[in-house]
Structure 1
Amino acid sequence: MGRVRTLVRDTLGTLLSAIGMTDLSRRQAGRLLVVTFHRVLPQALREKYPFPGLAVTPEELSWFLAFLKDHAPPAPLAPAFESWQNAPAGNAPTIAVTFDDAQWDNYEYARPVLQHHGIKATFYAPVNAVGTEQSLWHDRLGFAVRELLGKGEEHQLKEALSDRELPCLPHLDSDSVTQAAKTLPPEQRHNLVEALVRATGTTTCPEWNRLMNWEELKTLAQDGHEIGSHGLSHELLPQCTEQVLTREVVESKSRIEERLGRDVLSFCYPNGDVDDRTEGAVRTAGYKAAVSTRWGTNSTATSPWSLRRCDINSAHFVDRHGTLSRSRAALRLSGLQPGL
């Protein structure tokens, strides 16, 4: 069934592309298309990362940027949003490129690719982890689960999970445990992460998994890239108290502005989680725009503080031969069949 579905998808993509039905310049004309990247890792490192779907290789990133450039000149979120708001509906989409989490690999591997293509982007930084050796909570959890399963210590993993109020896990792997952990209140989630890390007996995360430091972020800003806020601690904001929520959106903005000497104009909701209260807090804090992880493009009716994005998982853009496909990318980003 999977092979048949893939063949149908590829055939449909090729046919629709040939007649211009999935041409982004036509399908998304006058709309704001925001694409999302997370990790940019060489294949050897991606194979070691517990969430490979969040990573593209430098070569894949270059392919995607070239594809986007063929339809409109990509830009950082804030200037792209401003020009899109001020310009009448045109014959092409407005395209913004964003990177979540400000990981060191974005500086090491994405920056040269962006320079090669002459593209500026937005990097969203979770402020408390910038310049530290501390990985974000989901990476610590993911590496811990991978470490325990890799050592054949499934019993220790199950024991650490047993007394938690977690939903039923479809699989015992990093993805499933992380998704389940997101349902826990913040304190319980942090306790689970610490329990799993202790069970490994190691620090679990490799050195290359760190975030950027302030000097690296400053260099990106000097290159012309936008640095936006991803909160302080990558907390899931709808779960936070009013006091914590306000601190996450206000203090993160002021600290980046103080360290970089530039206005912070846009916000990225950690995990994409946003509700009316969270959106209101971000708007009140003075951000001009904010992005979620809801799939899709944006019309002028979309709230500036709840913009949709298209997350780039390279596995969703390859044809049945495993090759990145322009017709497949056009079909997925056209809005006709994003789930194919």
Structure 2
Amino acid sequence: MLQRVDYKTNLMVGDQTYPAFELRNILDFIASQLGEKALQQVCGHIGVGRAELNHCTFVFVWQVEYAMEFLRLQCDDPDIGTKLGLSYRVSSLDVLLPHLAPLASLQACLQFVVNHPQLVGSFTDSLVRLEENCICIRWLNTGRIDKAQYGFQFLHSIGSLLGLARELTGATIRLSQVNLAEPARDDRFLTEATGAKVQFNCEYYEWSISLNYLALAINYPFPAYTETTSSVATISFIETVLSVIHEHFPQVLHLDEIATQLHMSDRSLRRKLAQLGSSYQRLVDQVRCQRAVELILASELDISAIAETLGYSDVSHFRQSFKHWIGHPPGYFSRLNGG
């Protein structure tokens, strides 16, 4: 059984690796919705063609993000993210198929999804909670992603997970609740597609599903697979920078100090991170925010002690920083998310 409150730091950014099947599915959807010219425009920007992609197991996060953003901005449809997710088929999941084939239930599949972001892909940190007869997945925007982009990614996620779950079980599965942190709009498509009660203007993006559905057996006719251990061979520059930040944390090195450790100039470091859609300060904030969330959820230290642990000499500065990261002050976050 999933834990009562389980915090997953699954956020992936920049040149961290992402499963290639996701990008292939997005490009197929772009071609079907926007045409071949739009497809070629996206492929030209991300530097990989559809034929080349057929031979890839992993791509970069920024490539997938770009394709998603292109689709969102080109389609005047607030439900396009959900429709994209629902277009996915189990047969397209290549690298995941050998891992899913031995699993007996939908709950086992969900556990695999939340525990293996490198194989599944993830744009967010999340809280997994057991609440009465439901599993709730709450998204935490620790990467401070643009709100409209983040909402699209959330709807894409629930669309793909729900559509694939229906195909895996052969059952009509419905979500219990879909909470959106955005203004109210026409929810008829989302309600019909998910079977859920949809609520707007919520504190967080969150979805939940009944444990009864998670108990369903997997009936998909997987072919026989030999044992496999998928790995990622490329070395991510973002992960290299994050590892140095973690190594010295809670002390935060100046930009020129970390550049020296990486044997490059501070200007080259800034430029490299900017090319990957990030910055040194943003990565530092990500590490601080994730550690702060872990300490708050552990409920072992008060806010002053947490601020000191994170290297803040002024607790008010920590409160302001945390609100900037998450959108809520630490005390409010604790009351809202404590298990």
Query: TM-score normalized by structure 1?
Result: 0.30
